[in-house]
Amino acid sequence: MAADDEACAADHVLRVALRHSECVGGEVLEQEHGLERVRIDMNVEMPLDMKADGVSSSGVRTCESVVLKLPASWPWQSPRFYLREDFPRHFPHLMPFSTPPRPCLIDGDQDEFFLQFGLVDYGVFHLVDQLAVWLRKAAINDLIDPEQGWEPMLRRDYRDIVELDAEHARSLVDRKGGWAVWKGKYYRRGDPSGLLGVDAEAWLSSDGERTPLKTSEGDDTFTASPMRGDMRVGNTVLAIIWPDKKSDGSAFVYSTYMPEDVETLGHLRARAEEVGCARGLDAFLSNIERSFAGFVLPAPIPVAVILCARRPVHLIGTESDIELLPYVIDVRAEQGRQTLFAQGNDEPVSPAAHYQSISAPLLRSLSGSPEQPPLVMLGCGSVGSKLALHAARSGQDIVCISDQSGLRPHNMARHALGPSHVPNSKAEALAKELEGFGLRPELHKGDLGRDLREQELAKTLLPKRAGAIINSTASLSVREALVDAAPPRYRARLFEAALFGRGRGAFLLADGPRHNPNHADLMAEMYATIGGTPASKLLFDPAEGLAEIRIGQGCGSLTMQMSDARLSAMTASLALEVNELMAVPATDGTIIMGTMDDGTPATSWVRYQVPPFETVEIAGTDGWELRISKRVADRIRAEAASYSAVETGGVMIGCTSARLKTVTVVDLLDAPPDSQRSAALFVLGTQGLHAAIEARHEASGRTLFDVGTWHSHLQDTGPSGTDWNTAAELAAERTPPSILLIATPTRFHALMHTKEPD
């Protein structure tokens, strides 16, 4: 391979270009402004009848001379291709305002395309090949494929920007024609007396709120701040103008592709005439003149005009046939003026690029996310704030957020929000950030454990329109209050997300249909089933858990040491899991656990499906309920069936909540070897029982306890007198509550004696 050097770069490019079959000649030209240039002559394939004339019906010649200019940073940048000065400008894929015309050869960054080939020779050859294809399509007017859609004007290199929701603007368009004015904001950078697009640039944005054109005392439709460096900000307007109907009543369709060559107000009027918007533009300009009568501003105010051109087919990438053509004009309301536009039709106008404003459809399209129902975020700490912003960035609405604490300097180690929000309320700070995504969530800054139990407050925290409630507080009181507050008929699915083990572990709980299993059930199930896994060590090892961190003189915070990178990685995965679970109807509860490998960021995730728990009313109590894991219920029935001629039983392991009035059973201990089984009675033995209960308690990270005993009945009979006596004995001997569960062939019975036996 021959090496390039500065002296022979142009020669080398010419040699490579001539290897292409459509490149039939060329020469190295004199340098221009210190840059090397090459002319190549390209054969253009076209139909025979056009070839005989030497030029196509679209104005492309059978042999086109193209100049390649090598940039100063060659070969780190690609050659620039220039067509002849009089090349027709009515084609798409021509760079606007370029003189001579520059074809747009690549859908994307031409330099990146060039560099991807590694070798300069390959990069140049493939660009020449793209040029040959472009010229061939231009010759037969095939640069727009009607099946693919209409190719909008190239506007990506313009310095001036108009940001608005394109679909909202298009929704205004009707067959009659008209115009509307939206409130807007602007940033104008550069010389106040300079030309937009040349000496200055402007960014105008609008959320689509209509406004009348007026400038009365105290009105803030048009404002200008003092200069801050070279920038000024303020309020302005954007005019949306759409075409009138034709004289025969049909819609005005403009099917000719035209280059973007508007430079003056006269050009803009001509463009408006072409696309059927002349009446609307004239009306807007007259009204803005009238609204500024007697009003003086010491600074130029950029105003946007968006012409809505109706095309014969839909635009590429959309279902709409309306192309938005945005322009920016500086309005100068100077003292002693005769008009806002002193130069008349020669008043400068700057074509602008359009940026889609932040909206849920835009965010969903960029993130590849489906439309999801709204969220409620309970907890706006490090985990909750990151989950909220992940949801917002995927186009999901957040209708309520809650946190009673404030942002403090130490939160900045891992919180999604920056230091500028300190010392505001976490909920208020997150709500302010979400405003930028167009979200307006309800705020709650009270005690969730208390307020979820207040009926009126619960309506705000659990709104009917929410599709999911995410609890990231890591609070037992909030978990139980949420379980208590959500009735079976409440449709939103409840999630709980938390990190443990200094960020090397994470779990997500998702309740089942009609909130069964609930989060209290799922936590107990998790404690019962993760023994011996890497997650159990992280969750149960005190060395991996919470530690007091000094956050100020005389101040400490119970928290976990972990990096923001680790927390962000785990939280992002939790966000993905929430999305997956929300995409399908719930059939079971779900436990998802992730653990990070030692010495590497690789993370393993496992998912457990948890069927609804069986519930049994506990006789002898004031409304207590026994909740039995299906896994345990199946095991009880299987053992009872295996002892079909005698009663059998064992010990139940689980946890209790006095606030929920529930006893949850998630494991069993086999009956000790000295237990007695007969057709009429089961007597639980004691040999090794205490040690087995203690061992199970320790293995669960001291979260699960002995909550009672169970035994079978051979017939479908409820509790006998003997059973009630046994319950009384259990109440006297054991720490309450102590449940007696009876398994009959068709159902469960549960009882608890709450008084001392007589």
H helices of 643-717, in order, are 689-699
Distance of CA 222 to the CA centre of its chain: 33
pLDDT tens-digit series, residues 598-610 = 888 889 999 999 9
Distance of CA 284 to the CA centre of its chain: 37
For residue 544, give both structure tokens.
Answer: 């991996």
CATH pick for 372-610 out of 3.40.50.720, 3.40.50.800, 3.40.718.10, 3.30.60.50: 3.40.50.720
Confidence (pLDDT) at 470: 97
Average pLDDT, rounded, for the chain = 91
Confidence (pLDDT) at 758: 42
> b or e along 656-689 (b: 16 or more beta carbons within 10 Å of the residue's beta carbon)?
bbeebebbbbbbbbebbeebebeeeebebeeeeb
As a residue count, the chain comes to: 758
State yes or no: pLDDT of 112 exceeds 90: yes
pLDDT tens-digit series, residues 646-704 = 999 999 999 999 999 999 999 999 999 999 999 989 999 999 999 999 999 999 989 99
User: Strands 505-510 and 493-500: what pairing?
Assistant: antiparallel
Percent of residues, the chain, with pLDDT higher than 90: 73
Which phi-psi region, left, alpha or beta, contains residue 118 (left: φ > 0; alpha: ψ -120 to 50)? left
Q: Band of the pLDDT at 217, cuts 50, 70, 90?
A: low
pLDDT tens-digit series, residues 420-432 = 999 999 999 999 9
Per-residue CA distances from 165 to 130, 171, 389 (Å): 34, 10, 21
Q: Band of the pLDDT at 121, cuts 50, 70, 90?
A: very high
pLDDT tens-digit series, residues 20-77 = 999 999 999 999 999 999 999 999 999 998 988 999 999 999 999 999 999 999 999 9
Query: Which of helix, strand or coil describes residue 582?
Result: helix
Residues 169 and 244: their CA atoms lie apart, in Å, by 16
Q: Give CATH for domain 6-139.
A: 3.10.110.10
Q: Band of the pLDDT at 274, cuts 50, 70, 90?
A: very high
Q: Return the closest-CA partner of residue 386 out of 563, 568, 510.
A: 568
- Count of CB atoms situated within 10 Å of the CB of 261: 12
**Is the Cβ–Cβ distance between 460 and 451 less than 8 Å?**
no
Confidence (pLDDT) at 2: 38
Q: Does domain 614-751 have CATH number 1.10.10.60?
A: no
State yes or no: pLDDT of 545 exceeds 80: no
DSSP-derived secondary structure for 324-372: EEEEEEEE---TT-S-S-TTGGGSB-EE-EEEEPS-HHHHHHHHTPPP-
State yes or no: pLDDT of 90 exceeds 70: yes
Domain layout of the chain by residue ranges: 6-139, 161-357, 372-610, 614-751
pLDDT tens-digit series, residues 351-362 = 999 999 999 999
Residues 333 and 244: their CA atoms lie apart, in Å, by 30
State yes or no: pLDDT of 756 exceeds 70: no
For residue 23, the cross-strand partners are 42
- The more confident residue out of 510 and 540 is 510
**Angle at the Cα of 640 from the Cα atoms of 635 and 646, rounded to 5 degrees:** 155
Q: Which of 251-265, 540-554, 616-630 shows the highest mean pLDDT?
A: 616-630
pLDDT tens-digit series, residues 711-729 = 999 998 877 777 787 777 7
Q: Which residues touch 229 (CB under 8 Å, ≥6 apart)?
A: none
**Is the Cβ–Cβ distance between 748 and 616 less than 8 Å?**
yes
The one-letter amino acid code at 231 reads M
Average of per-residue pLDDT across 189-209:
92
pLDDT tens-digit series, residues 390-449 = 999 999 999 999 999 999 998 999 999 999 999 999 999 999 999 999 999 999 999 999
